[in-house]
Structure 1
Amino acid sequence: MEANSTDHHVISIKNTGDGEVVGNNEGHKRRFKFSVFSKKIHCSLVPVSSYLRDKKNSDQNTNNNNKKVIHSIKVGISLLLVSLLYLLDALYNQVGDNAMWAIMTVVVIFELYAGATLGKGLNRGIGTILGGGLGCLFAFIAQEVGGVGNSIVIAITIFIFGAGATYIRQAPSIKKRYDYGVMIFILTFNLVVVSGIRADQVLKIARDRLLSIVMGFLVGISVSLFVFPMWTSDELHHSTASKFHDLANTVQGCLEEYFKSDSEKKNAQRNTSCCKSVLNSKPKDESLANFAKWEPWHGRFGYSYPWDMYLSIGDVLRELAAIVLALNSCLQSSRQAKEWGNEPLKEACEGIGASIAWSLREVGDSIEQRRKPKAENEILPKLKEVRAEMSSMIAETENNEKGDLAIASLLVLLMTEVVDKVEKLAKEADELAEIAAFHTNVASS
């Protein structure tokens, strides 16, 4: 059977009746065989990928709900413990009304993840100690000056420390990790130094408040770290790995939707939302990486863990998501799906999509399992083969005289960009594996 090449100048392909395929040349023959084989792979993965995508969404929603319940219970436990400062007379006689600072500390510093709680708690503690100490010092100096000079010294120190701390707070390196601590420093310093004008026992007031804050800090941190701890590092690690699977499902889902009839296209919006979620993940990733650096050594992660590498990988993932989003838009706007239904170009695209999705999942699994990816032996050679196939398809679409296949050329170019990003991600993951000392898995997958 000979394909109709009158309208689109596509490759003529003959079937001799015994299953042998004959093209215009050996390159066309090889590519058609690759396309048919790849299409079988793609079709076999469609129901599996759809099932895994739905199951993952369901499991993720359940996991998020469980985290919210656990976090709520932990906050309740912490508030109950610090409330004992009021409820028990023996404790209340020691701290008095300053117990409110312990309750306030728990409410302010307690976050969902242990790293976030520890980071905010240490920032609050350091800011309180520095602000309270300097406030007491200059309050004593002002009292020694006495008279009108007292108020003048207080006013000058408030201006200098307030303006200076605010300026330092705007530095990117300080704002990234110590913004909350600097804010607490400004607040505490002003409260202590101003109270020194009217209060005779400023040192006792500062000491009692600091003691209450320390008690609130210890309660909050202890509950966060020892009662069903939820680690920021685990969240960043798992979320980074899951992005690979999300983009793999999106690439494969784009092709699934493209070759369906208009009435069967139901998941286009889901594919788009998945890419947008990856595109908007930068603030969350940076926040998680910042808090992960505060966490103590636990399980697989420690202080020297290369969290900045996760941010680098996240940047490439967002670049890939932008390209995939453009690819999805191009496929959705194309009106030539039915016309290309039996062409080798479409069959090759399906197979290439399956290869890209497999590569992404393999890199994502290697990060999730903390094992060295099979970049040099499997992933990069597969992507090299896909790149050669794409180059051949680009050359053919560019040689089309009528230009009917301009949309095909654009699709091929976008998919080539996708291959470039996947290749870069494989290399980034390989570098992460070396720095983080991932284990080597010799078992075949």
Structure 2
Amino acid sequence: MGSTVIDIPDGDQTVAAAPKERKTKKFDSCCFANIINIISFLREKKNRHDIRKVIHSIKVGIALVLVSLLYLLNPLYNQVGDNAMWAIMTVVVIFEFFAGATLSKGLNRGIGTVLGGGLGCLAAAFAQAVGGIGRAIIVGISVFIFGASATYTRQVPNIKKKYDYAATIFILTFNLVVVSGLRAEEVLVLARSRLSTIVMGFAICIFISLLVFPIWASDELHDSFVSRFQDLAHSLEGFSKEYFADVTEKEKKSSANYFNSCKSILQSKPKDESLVLFARWEPWHGKFGFSYPWRKYLQIGEELRDLATIILSLKGCLKSPTQSSEALGQSIKEPCEEIVSSLAWALRELGESIKTMRNCRSEDAIVPKLKSVRLELSLIMTPSILGTNLEKADGLGLASLVYSLMEMVEKMEELAKEVEELGELGGFHKNS
């Protein structure tokens, strides 16, 4: 059987190099695409204000580097020794996202450390003075009494909200000091050295948190309340568009998403309480001075949650088969649209008042507008109009809608008073 010889041309190296060139171009295009994706990702993060998370992470890293110098530099290490780990632990434990949270947690840790260390030293000194078997008995009794008392104190609501961390640190420090004093003769020296390193860590945290791109809980609280007024107004307008206008299924689905902001507002109470607590710890900065009425935000938050509940109840009207604009008629449709538009305007005015920190002029503009809305609602509920719609089987749905709007007007009148009081207590500027 014969064999076939295939000649290989001299240009085989050129042919072999072509795929490599294509691979290089493909690799370069992939790298370029990855760079574009990274830039888009960072830009998206910035738009969502997540850049603050990056800033906070960098600040924590800087604080850890500075506190690690207690270990890395021999002169500093000779002064503090192995107690430098307490400074590192302090930075890790108390450095929080908001400046007020860091200050609150740091002061709580300081209070707990000083009280626990002081009482622990006294108990340890007394136990050493007694000596013998009585030494261990006194230590055991003191640990039980102070540990049980501090644990019970943590269950008191007001103390738990503000000083729970201080009570925890008190229990920890007291037990460490008094038990170590049972074996160590220089308990005062040990306590003083540990306290000094804790103060170093606390000072570094406060310095970086308050002076290096500070993230204020007060600004977060203030801006979140402004956005809630806008979100509620947006939800009302979305409901009006879907209820009174002929829209496609796609537009209906889009407007229904406006109710999601109402759901998030209903779940905002824990966040509000935390932000108010942190804001009260923060020093004077920007537009917020000392003794700013932060608790008034909690009262406004309650009114906003009640208002969000009423707006969510309007969602049930969308499922009514008689909510079409043809069934309602122009005599009902146009006044209701005007009413919803007026309520949305009032919400935006109140939100703008808080945003710009200017008096909302509720008695001059908002309250008269709400009174006119109440009058229009009473006209819609007249027997002549409501009775005509009852014959069309639309009366029950219409009555439910009008009742919800009437309840919304009452709630907004209360909300306007709360915002006006906030302006008076907070020193809002008067409109010229």
On whether the aligned pair clears a TM of 0.5, the verdict is yes
Amino acid in the other structure paired with 2:279: A
In structure 1, the partner of 2:63 is: 78
Which range moved further: 251-260 or 316-325?
A: 251-260
2:76 corresponding residue in structure 1? 91
- Name the count of aligned residue pairs: 385
What code does the residue aligned with 1:415 have? L
* 1:414 partnered with 2:404: yes
What corresponds to 1:144 in structure 2? 129
For the Cα contact (< 8 Å) 1:295–1:302, is it kept in 2?
Answer: no
After TM superposition, give the deviation of residue 221 of structure 1 in Å: 0.5
- Which structure: larger Rg? 2
SS in 2 for 1:339: helix
Worse-matched range after superposition: 131-140 or 387-396: 387-396
- The residue type paired with residue 125 of structure 2 is F
Is contact 2:63-2:205 (8 Å) kept?
yes
**Alignment deviations for residues 164-211 of structure 1 (CA, whole Å, 9 cap, x no partner):** 111112112211211111111111111111111121221121111111
Give the corresponding residue for 1:399: 387
Determine the structure 2 residue equivalent to 1:252: 237
CA distance in 2, matches of 1:278, 1:406: 29
**Which position in structure 1 is the counterpart of 2:419?**
429
Q: Given the alignment of the two structures, is residue 364 of structure 1 paired with residue 365 of structure 2, yes or no? A: no
> Contact 2:98/2:215 (CA < 8 Å) preserved in 1?
yes
Does the Cα contact within 8 Å between 1:294 and 1:303 map onto a contact in 2? no
Aligned pairs for 1:227-238 within 5 A: 227-238=212-223
* Corresponding residue number in structure 1 for 2:281: 294
C-alpha distance in structure 2 between counterparts of 1:364 and 1:263, whole Å: 30
| Post-superposition offset of 1:338 | 4.7
Task: Assess if the C-alpha contact under 8 Å between 2:325 and 2:333 holds in 1.
Answer: no
Q: Give the conservation status (yes or no) of the 8 Å contact 1:241–1:364.
A: yes
Q: Structure 2 vs 1, CA of residues 101 and 404 (structure 1 numbering), >3 Å: closer, same or farther? A: same
Tell me what 2:169 maps to.
184
Cα distance between partner residues in 1 of 2:330 and 2:205: 64
2:364 equivalent in structure 1: 377
Assess if the C-alpha contact under 8 Å between 2:112 and 2:167 holds in 1.
Answer: yes
Q: Contact 2:322/2:394 (CA < 8 Å) preserved in 1?
A: no
Q: Determine if contact 1:309/1:432 at 8 Å carries over to the other structure.
A: yes
Match for residue 118 of structure 2? 133
Where 2:337 maps in the other structure, the secondary structure is helix
Distance 1:395 1:77 in 2: 69
1:238 CA drift (Å): 1.3
Percent of residue pairs identical? 58
- The 5-angstrom pairing of residues 15-414 of structure 1 reads 62-258=47-243, 259=245, 260-340=247-327, 342-396=329-383, 398-400=386-388, 401-402=390-391, 403-414=393-404
Distance 1:80 1:138, change over 3 A: same
Secondary structure of the structure 2 residue equivalent to 1:415: helix
Distance 1:334 1:213, change over 3 A: farther
Q: CA deviation at 1:340?
A: 3.0
TM-score, normalised to structure 1, is 0.83
User: Over the residues paired in the alignment, what is the CA RMSD in angstroms?
Assistant: 1.8
| Structure 2 portions without partners, runs of 5+ | 1-42
Q: Which has the higher contact order (CA 8 A, sep 6+)?
A: 1
Could you tell me which runs of 5 or more consecutive residues in structure 1 were left unpaired when the two chains were aligned.
Answer: 1-57
- Using the alignment, how far apart are the partners of 1:184 and 1:191 within structure 2? 10
Normalising by structure 2, we get a TM-score of 0.86
Letter in 1 for 2:278: F
CA shift for structure 1 position 386 = 0.6
The one-character-per-residue Cα deviations of 1:383-426 (angstroms, maximum 9, x if unpaired) are: 11111111111234653453532111101111111111111111
Instruction: Find the aligned partners of 1:129 and 1:375 in 2 and give their Cα distance.
Output: 50
The amino acid across from 2:399 in the alignment is S
Q: Distance in 2 between matches of 1:118 and 1:126?
A: 12
DSSP-derived class of the 1:340 partner: helix
1:289-330: CA deviation from partner (whole Å, max 9, x where unpaired): 111111111122233111111110000000001111111232
Q: Distance in 2 between matches of 1:126 and 1:336?
A: 62
